[in-house]
Chain A
């Protein structure tokens, strides 16, 4: 008895996760987020060397930050949904429908204060997300099918409602449109909104009980339920949140572009899933961080903008994005396999 008790005690120091600032730094350096960030910095650096206006000019810097912001907000919601082992293909349609709804409200009531409009947009998106979530959670149907259905339905409603109409910049209050170009301390307002949302969600997912429950449900739904977690409630919450973020992105879209036709946000679902996957959020759920997903969004958009500067015709953008997604998931898999082998060796030693 005594020997069996002593053995694990001896092994404990080397088996537990290492602590201390040095180990934390090492973990940070080896993380996926750092890798994506390095690639991002590298691309910006190379492109800037080739054409300084890419970063240094006022417009270049602003575009570099503003263009990814809308995708970033959508990716936040998408990442949370994917972490619960679901997927939300309807985000592009929710974005478009919300953008048109907000534009129509502004045309009808030009005096609505802008912050209230943000709340209305979020609430509208959340309502659409609730519909998705309720169908997935209570209907016991895979999220992919439901959100594929609502992708069609929401877009159809949008086209039906909009017809060949569109909202023009001249229809929107100038205070609202100024948000799209305004800067605070050199940083565009839209980017600040996106980064604040990112900070809140990242903190919530990492530190709170609710956030950890998303991960638990995604990594093993059966075990999570056995443990007593309310899966239905959490999945519903993830979809409501994803809809809310897509709604927010719709408002940002309206502010940034001013023109809203029935095709706003078309194809965003794949960019959002792609960005999350590139950022290390595994499609099988339970792993990845929203910060990684946000970096993935930045990387995706920046590559698209950098390619023409580097002399690669825009037409090849999608091919590069596809190769990037494939590279990222293969890398993930290889690293996971190596980690798995290492853990087994450690256990057997």
Chain B
């Protein structure tokens, strides 16, 4: 049976949190701004640089590569404060959450020296080139391919749902580097591709509310030098799946709609027995989810890779993000007015972008299937 251990904080961690909380309170006084919604947050390069100046991007990068060498737990504490306030974390998000740890784990010395200091400084932003028009949850079926050429690779294919490609510097691209023969998980690689490369085009795929968040990225004979291959050629699948514990269980998987609840309590009169009952159950769920998520960060620091736990937390957390909206809508009553005050605007945006919560990073249905297979396997082993 999977078990989560509650995790208290050390004095240093409490101090870090107090520092972040003070920073956030100054940057984002309630009611003076429209909060951003988690990973859907827009890019604010200046804000990212202010965070970088405080050492809060790429926190897990060790000092020898220009970082502060802090723990996954410390990163968790910084990030959750930013998300709870609805900070514009979009620009550096992927680089901070995912790219820095995978370059640390798999990157060559050259890649580490080239990219980690720039990530830490808020000078290199990454997006993820994973999904394709015909590959969503079935990621290993990607068809973007790289073929050998003098000094590197020629990349052809297209990626979709690439968040932030319009302002990022690099796209971490999963592609096929050898033709599929038998198992489709073999022969995949990850390439770091400069978004200004010749032959690369980025076109917007507008969200249903007209916002520009997603992109299509098309590669036509894009040259990628050899040293920009992350890790071993052919071990892309292993590398991508090992990112998942980082990617799946963080505070971004249950806090996306928290600012909506916060503004609801700040700007509407909320009272009565129904509000008490429903907000009470909601608070219990937040409390439990946050502590499970924190517990996973603590496990990562301990060298464990709690992949299935992370999967379950993502399923629970992202489903819960929808529940928060349902509750706020029920209690706020009446018709939605997307052009109303800040709360109205926020609720409207959250409502129409909510479907993305349980899709991105692998649909919840696929996550459940992966988790179920693990649980059944463990059970068979125990019998």
Indicate whether A and B interact.
no
Which residues of B line the A interface, CB within 8 A? none
Which residues of A line the B interface, CB within 8 A? none
